Amino acid sequence: MDHFLYRSGTLHAEDVPIPEIAAVVGTPFYVYSTATLERHYRLFTEALDPLPHLVCFAVKSNSNVAVLKVLGDLGAGMDVVSGGEYLRAKAAGVPGDRIVFSGVGKTREEMRLALEGGIRQFNVESEPELLALSEVAAGMGLRAPIALRVNPDVDARTHEKIATGKSENKFGIPIARAREVYALAAGLPGIEVCAVDVHIGSQLTDLEPFEQAYLKVADLTRALRADGHTIRRLDLGGGLGIPYTRSNEAPPLPAEYGALIKRTVGDLGCEIEIEPGRLISGNAGLLVSGVIYVKAGEGRDFLIVDAAMNDLVRPSMYGAHHDIVPVVEPAAGALAQPFDVVGPVCETGDTFAKARHLPALAAGDLVAFRSAGAYGAVMASEYNTRPLVPEVLVRGDHFAVIRARPTFDEILNRDTIPEWL
C-alpha cells in the first residue's frame, strides 16, 4: 500500500496534488511519501516483535538525508556500503551504534572513518578485509565489532544481476569455510566477533531461498558457539521484493517474512538485524515526468518524456517494469493506446516501456512512474549533461524540495580547464 492516490481525478502524493509540485519544481522530479516510508518500516518492526531486533534501512536504495532522517527518527538503524553512505546516515542523526557497514571492498580510510564515528558492526566479506580491519582498529587502540558475511550458496531466484548468495558471486565467505575464518578472526587483536551476516539477493518474490539460507545460518551459529565464539546477533540481510505491477505478482508480506525468521532462527537467543531497502522505499516514491512530444512512428507511437535513463536506469539496466500512469486520471471509458515510452537520451536503450497501454496524452501532460523510490534517484547520473533529478518529500499537505536540481552553472563549474590549455 502507498499514499499515491487519485483524488477528484488528479494523482496526489498524500494530500498534495502532483501538478502543484510540478509547477514549483519543474519536471522531472522524484517525490517521496513520508507516511509510506513510515508504514513500511513499521511493518518490519512489527513483524519481528517480540524478538529483540534492529531494522537497518539499506541506504543504497534511497540515500537522501531527509529520507534517512524520517526512518532514523523512528529508531531505524542503517546499512551502509561506503564512507559516503556512512556520513549520510550520521548527517541524518543516526548514532553509530545503529549503523552496520556492508560491502566487499571497504577501504582502510572507510574503516577508520566508521571506527572514529562509531559503528555497530562491520559485515566482513573476506580474509584480506578482516586482516586490514584488525590492523586499522588495533592501530587506533580499538577492537572492531564484526560479523562475517557468509555465502550460503542458495539460488535467490531473482534477476542475475542482483542475486548475491550463490558461490559464483563475489559476496561473502563460503559457508563451508566460515568456521575456519571465525577462528582466524577470534585470534586477531583488532577484532571482536559478535555476529553472523547473510544477504542472498534483492527483489526476492519467494520465501523459500530465505528459508534455506537462514537454516544454514542457524546451523552455523550453533557450530560457532560450540567452537567457543560469542554470537549475539544475526544480520539476515535485505531482499524482500515488492509488487511492481498492480495486478499479478504478490510477493510475501513482511509479516510472513517475520514468521519465517522466527521459525528458522528465533530460538537462538540472538538479536536480529535485517537490512531491507526496496520494501521500505520502493513504493514510497514516484518519478514524475512531463510529456515533451507525442511522435507518430511506423507501426507504433512514441511518448517522448522529459525523464530519461539517466534519471531512472532500472528499465534499461535490468529490463525492469515500472507502471506508468497519467497524473490526470483519464475519463471512465477513455480508450487506451499502446505507446513506446522513451526519454530524450541519444540511445535506443533509453526506453522505459514498449507498447504500454496509456490513454491519449499530449505535450505538457504529466505522467508518473510508480515504485521508483528505491534504486531510482540513487542510480541517477548526469549523462547527456542532464541535471541530476531533484527530490521532493511530502508529509500530509505540505512538501519540501530535499535535493534541488543543480543549475547549469553549478554543473559547468565542477569542470576545470587546466591553465596550460
DSSP annotation string for 232-277: -EEE----B---SSSSS--PPPHHHHHHHHHHHHGGG-PEEEE---
- Shortest Cβ 19–ligand LLP spacing (Å): 28
In this complex, which beta carbon is closest to ligand LLP, that of residue 205 or of residue 337? 205
Binding residue (CB under 6 A) for ligand LLP from 77, 190, 209, 238: 238
- How buried is 330 (Cβ within 10 angstroms: 0-12 exposed, 13-18 middle, 19+ buried)? middle
Residue 237 in the binding site for ligand LLP (CB under 6 A): yes
To the question of whether residue 179 is assigned a binding role by annotation, the answer is no
| C-alpha span between 233 and 49 (Å, rounded) | 15
Count CB neighbours of 209 within 10 A. Answer: 20
User: Closer CB to ligand LLP, residue 29 or residue 244?
Assistant: 244
* Contact flag: residue 102 with ligand LLP (CB under 6 A): yes
* In the complex, least distance from residue 163 CB atom to ligand LLP, rounded to whole angstroms: 10
Tell me which stretch binds ligand LLP (CB under 6 A): 132-140, 236-244, 341-349, 364-372: 236-244
Give yes or no for residue 199 binding ligand LLP (CB under 6 A): yes
Instruction: Rank residues 22 and 312 by Cβ distance to ligand LLP and give the closer one.
Output: 312
By CB under 6 A, residue 106 contacts ligand LLP = no
386 is in an annotated binding site: no
Residue nearer to ligand LLP on the CB measure, 72 or 239 = 239
User: What's the distance, Cα to Cα, between the start and end of the chain in Å?
Assistant: 56
Residue 392 Cβ, how far from ligand LLP at the closest point, in Å? 21
* Total number of residues that touch ligand LLP (CB under 6 A): 21
User: Does residue 346 have an active-site annotation?
Assistant: yes
Q: Contact at 8 Å (CB) between 14 and 34?
A: yes
CA distances from 334 to 14, 74, 366 (A): 26, 43, 17
225 is in an annotated binding site: no
40 touches ligand LLP (CB under 6 A): no
Residue 120 sits in the site that holds ligand LLP (CB under 6 A): no
Residues numbered 375 to 394 that lie near ligand LLP (CB under 6 A) are 375
Residue 239 assigned ligand-binding role: yes
Phi-psi sector, 146: left (phi>0), alpha (psi -120 to 50), beta: beta
Q: How far is CA 377 from CA 40, 323, 382, in A?
A: 19, 17, 11
Binding residue (CB under 6 A) for ligand LLP from 27, 34, 61, 151: 61
DSSP annotation string for 157-201: -S-GGGB--STTSS-SEEGGGHHHHHHHHHT-TTEEEEEEE---B
Q: What is the 8-class DSSP label of residue 386?
A: P
Q: How far is the CB of 292 from ligand LLP (least distance, A)?
A: 25
Interaction between residue 202 and ligand LLP (CB under 6 A):
yes
Smallest distance, ligand LLP to C-beta of residue 279, A: 6
Measured between alpha carbons, how far is 108 from 272 in angstroms, rounded to an integer? 27
Q: Which of residues 156-195 bind ligand LLP (CB under 6 A)?
A: 162
| Bridging pattern class, strands 77-80 and 53-58 | parallel
Nearer to ligand LLP, 11 or 220 (CB): 220
The CA angle 185-186-188, to the nearest 5 degrees, is 65
Query: Residue 375 has which C-alpha cell?
Result: 534504486
Site string for ligand LLP, 250-279 (x = CB under 6 A): -------------------------xxxxx
Write down the least CB distance from residue 343 to ligand LLP, Å: 17
* Helix, strand, coil abundance in the chain, percent, nearest 5: 35, 25, 40
Q: Which is nearer to ligand LLP, 21 or 56 (CB)?
A: 56
Residue 316 touches ligand LLP, criterion: CB under 6 A: no
Using an 8 Å Cβ cutoff, are 352 and 323 in contact? Answer: no
Residue 286: partners with Cβ closer than 8 Å, 6 or more residues away = 4, 13, 18, 30, 31, 368, 369, 370, 372, 373
Q: How far is the CB of 162 from ligand LLP (least distance, A)?
A: 5
**Is 277 a known ligand-binding residue?**
yes
- The b-or-e profile of 63-86 (16+ CB within 10 A means b, else e) is bbbbbbbbbbeeebbbbbbbbebb
Catalytic residue among 56, 194, 270, 346: 346
Residues annotated catalytic, as ranges: 346
Residues that bind ligand LLP (CB under 6 A): 58, 60-61, 79, 102, 162, 199, 202-203, 237-239, 275-279, 314, 318, 374-375
Q: Which residues are annotated as a binding site?
A: 239, 275-278, 314, 318, 347, 375
